Amino acid sequence: MAVDRGLLDRIKTRGEEVLTQLSAELMSNPRFVGAVEGALRGRDKLEQAASRALRQMHVATQGELRRAGSRIEALEREVADLRRRLRPQAVRARGARTKPARTKAAPGRAGSVTKTRARPKGGASAAGQSGVRSR
């Protein structure tokens, strides 16, 4: 279906003219301007009240979350930059290091268990069995 491009341009232009005229008439009406101003003041008061309520509940506000996200992104960039700078040093350090030779465990030592002294019942130590705590 072919649509005349000129027709679409004329419709678009006429629509823009009508919207411009309508907005000019609305902005010249003091009642409309007062209603818009009242709505904006109401929105501001609502945002302030919601922010206070969220702070009282220890919930982050939208602005605080945005700032935290920005800070996290900045820290991630900083960490990435540090990793880029440290990478050549780590490669040089790995090249300079030599692996130590592995040694075998002495016979009879593998899997041995170390014995520990048993504690008296109640968890009190032998020195503090009187029940009186020392400070």
Lookup: tokens for 92: 């040089």
* 23 pLDDT above the threshold of 80: yes
Q: Is 18 left (phi over 0), alpha (psi -120 to 50) or beta?
A: alpha
Q: Which domain holds residue 79?
A: 60-95
Q: Does the residue 110 lie in any domain? A: no
- Report CA Rg, the chain: 38
pLDDT tens, position by position, 32-85:
999 999 999 999 999 999 889 988 999 988 888 999 999 999 999 999 999 999
Is 8 among the domain residues? Answer: yes
Contact indicator for 129, 119 with CB cutoff of 8 Å: no
Q: Tell me: do 25 and 65 sit in the same domain.
A: no
123: part of which helix (H) or strand (E)? none
> Do 53 and 68 fall within a single domain?
no
Q: What is the pLDDT of residue 126?
A: 47
* One domain, residues 7 and 43: yes
Which has the minimum average pLDDT: 20-24, 57-61, 84-88, 96-100? 96-100
- The answer to whether the predicted template modeling score (pTM) of the entire model surpasses 0.75 is no
The verdict on 10 and 37 lying in the same domain is yes
Phi then psi dihedrals of residue 27, to 5 deg: -70, -20
127 pLDDT more than 50: no
Given this model, what pLDDT does residue 121 score? 60
35-39, 96-100, 130-134, range with greatest mean pLDDT: 35-39
Closest CA to 130 of 75, 81, 112, 122: 122
